[in-house]
Structure 1
Amino acid sequence: MNPYQSLPPRSFWRSAVAEPDMLGIGDLWTPAFAIGQDDLILTAGSCFARHIGRALLEQGMNWRDAEPAPPGLTEAERQARHYGVFSFRTGNIYTAATLLQWLTWAYGNATPPDGIWSEDGRHFDAYRPAVEPDGYESAEALSAARQATLAAIRGAVAEASCLIFTLGLTEAWQDRADGTVHPVCPGTVRGTFDAERHVFHNYTFDEVYRDLSAAIALARTANPGLRVLLTVSPVPLTATATGGHALTATTYSKSVLRAVAGQLAQEHDHVDYFPSYELITGFPFKAVFFEPNLRAVTPEGVAFVMRQFFGALDRRPAEPRPSRRAGHFSGEDFWCEDAVLDYYNHG
């Protein structure tokens, strides 16, 4: 008798991956903790994370929108201003460093710098440049809106049962003047790039592990019962500033994020990892869940991921459904600030 003889079928490549129909592959996740319909759930992270909150609501889960849209806005206006996308109007949070930055500001461990870009009489938030696409009428209005978001973070984290955070990138642009991290390179979505001030940084495993550990610890200081479910976005990099190939840069970034998420899940009972990345990018799925640009995830791909998620929570296998290669554009890039980088592609 050897240890492999008592393993279940999902532990073997042939029985778990090679033999089943592609859409029959399942049982990838055994939740480390229960998430019930009454548990208050928060979502934040990269653009792929926007799908999770909506799916939770559709399943009758208790997803918290801590900054609901004011009355009078059309659906298009709500979407353009990022209402109801994540639990807070932070915009996309691509890196662990940015998550830590928002939490540090929310709990008063640091004071946010002004971070205001002015263009044509309008004012834009340097730390969420796409959230208010037409800008604010004054610097005071911008600061008040940012403070409202920080208050929403404090209030929601204090009450939440679970935070689902989707890691997106290791590449970021830092500000030498104040040490802050920008969500996207200044001068792309908004602002002006200053080579003396704005410096590129590609985070290492140790740095991502440090920042994500600190962010989770800070949130749990405010709410000791908070549990954290980590995922990694399957959306590739639009562009890399490393000077390398976009494919290898994407592999590095996702590998680091996946390794950090796995490490933290092994170390802490209150941290778990859900394999949305593997469910979209795993080669058994043959890129069928990507749009023709091989970047945006199709609605069928999102549905496949969420069936696996809810199926595991219900302790029953997710039921496979027919899928097709979508021929339309899902609009994923509308929500990804870094997608604007493709505008600068002159190849």
Structure 2
Amino acid sequence: MTHPYSDLPPEAFWRTAVAAHNPLKIRGLWQPKFRILRKHRIATAGSCFAQHIGQALAGRGYNWFNAEEAPSLLPAEARAEFNYGIFSFRTGNIYTAAMLLQWLQLAYGLRDPIEEVWQQHGRFFDPLRPVIEPGGFASAEELFGSRESVLAAIRRAVEEAHVFVFTMGLTESWRNLQAGFEYALCPGTTAGTFDAETHGFHNHQMGAILDDMRKVLRIMKRRNKRLRVLLTVSPVPLTATASGQHVLTATTYSKSVLRAVAGQLVDELDFVDYFPSYEIVTHPIYRGMFFAPNQRTIVHEGVDVVMQNFFDDQTAAFGDEKPTPARKARPAAPGPGCGGVKCEEEMLGAFA
């Protein structure tokens, strides 16, 4: 007697695909839609885990795309401190789909400029990236000049990249209720002053995130027909939640929604793919081995396993590519933080 399950391959069954294997040896979790070659310009943006991806790609000789290079007079050791070479452009972490859409709309003149500036101790802070300049800017003019540079870099990354990697991180955000824009962090936590009448908490739902991501992808594809997009979901739990829920269940909600959005987009669009870094780090079969004792930071060994899956699954699908030396253009290694990357959200832990 035959039926649809009679001729399925071993990877379709839990016993033969998972239970019978050392979890570190499991492969084939990703069947990539498109090949990523070392010569391709690869832009990275999003949550802090995207920094790991950029570093690993550059370390293997891939062409990580630095669309906003540091000024030549800035010493190399200071570039990470000033957030150059962390992502492909100097926005800092982009945690939500709405924030990515907002940056793209600003870059392409699809919304009015955001003119709010935070002042503190005689310095000026950009509410869209409040920790981008250590100690703040010297003037509002310097702040807006720097923002124009990042908007130009976003345009360059979108228009010149072959692959755009976006790591979705959070559903929770803070908004200006009157002007209708989203902040990078809650006002008053790193800079600025919190005002309950002006600043409101928002937890994005699946439908809204899906709509925002569709708009993001339309903007990108309109400017670059060849662009392919690789989505990931950050496996790093929330540092804190303002939802009123326990931070553990709030994390599960956030990551589940983002994972569902990614899956929907992959089903809809042939130029969008999803790489399961989230599953590799967080699934119970790995027994939490990729987390540091705080159960939040991803250890370097975990990043290595994630990226080995990436490279092995690309090779399985498309064959091996001749190795090339590591490239000069590579993301900065900022040192201590979320496992050696910069995570602005981690600053909320100071209020625990």
TM-score by length of 2: 0.92
For 1:44-88, what per-residue CA distance to the aligned partner results, in whole angstroms no more than 9, with x for missing partners?
000111111111111111111011112243444211211111100
8 Å Cα contact 2:31-2:317 kept in structure 1: no
Aligned residues: 336
The residue that corresponds to 2:39 in the other structure is: 38
Residue 331 of structure 1: CA displacement? 4.5
1:280–1:340 Cα change, 3 Å? same
For 1:172-217, what per-residue CA distance to the aligned partner results, in whole angstroms no more than 9, with x for missing partners?
0010121111111111121111111110010111011000110111
Q: Distance in 2 between matches of 1:330 and 1:22?
A: 27
For 1:232-278, what per-residue CA distance to the aligned partner results, in whole angstroms no more than 9, with x for missing partners?
00000011111111111000000000000000000110110000000
The residue that corresponds to 1:60 in the other structure is: 61
Residue 193 of structure 2 corresponds to residue 178 of structure 1: no
CA RMSD of aligned residues (A): 1.7
SS in 2 for 1:306: helix
The residue that corresponds to 1:245 in the other structure is: 246
SS in 2 for 1:340: helix
The residue that corresponds to 1:7 in the other structure is: 8
Q: Distance in 2 between matches of 1:59 and 1:230?
A: 20
The residue that corresponds to 1:115 in the other structure is: 116
The residue that corresponds to 1:335 in the other structure is: 342
Q: Distance in 2 between matches of 1:147 and 1:38?
A: 29
8 Å Cα contact 2:163-2:229 kept in structure 1: yes
Residue 4 of structure 1: CA displacement? 1.3
Residue 37 of structure 1: CA displacement? 1.4
SS in 2 for 1:163: strand
The residue that corresponds to 1:51 in the other structure is: 52
What amino acid is aligned across from residue 205 of structure 1 in structure 2? M
Q: Distance in 1 between matches of 2:90 and 2:80?
A: 11
8 Å Cα contact 1:66-1:88 kept in structure 2: yes
Residue 256 of structure 2 corresponds to residue 255 of structure 1: yes
The residue that corresponds to 2:229 in the other structure is: 228
Q: Distance in 1 between matches of 2:72 and 2:212?
A: 37
Q: Distance in 2 between matches of 1:23 and 1:228?
A: 27
Q: Distance in 2 between matches of 1:331 and 1:273?
A: 23
Q: Distance in 2 between matches of 1:282 and 1:72?
A: 45
The residue that corresponds to 2:162 in the other structure is: 161
For 1:297-321, what per-residue CA distance to the aligned partner results, in whole angstroms no more than 9, with x for missing partners?
000011111111111112279xxxx
Residue 129 of structure 2 corresponds to residue 128 of structure 1: yes
SS in 1 for 2:119: strand
Q: Name stretches of at least 5 consecutive residues in structure 1 with no aligned partner.
A: 318-327
The residue that corresponds to 2:278 in the other structure is: 277
The residue that corresponds to 2:96 in the other structure is: 95
1:92–1:209 Cα change, 3 Å? same
SS in 1 for 2:232: strand
SS in 2 for 1:42: strand
SS in 2 for 1:166: strand
For 1:3-54, what per-residue CA distance to the aligned partner results, in whole angstroms no more than 9, with x for missing partners?
1121111111111111101211111001111111121111000011111111
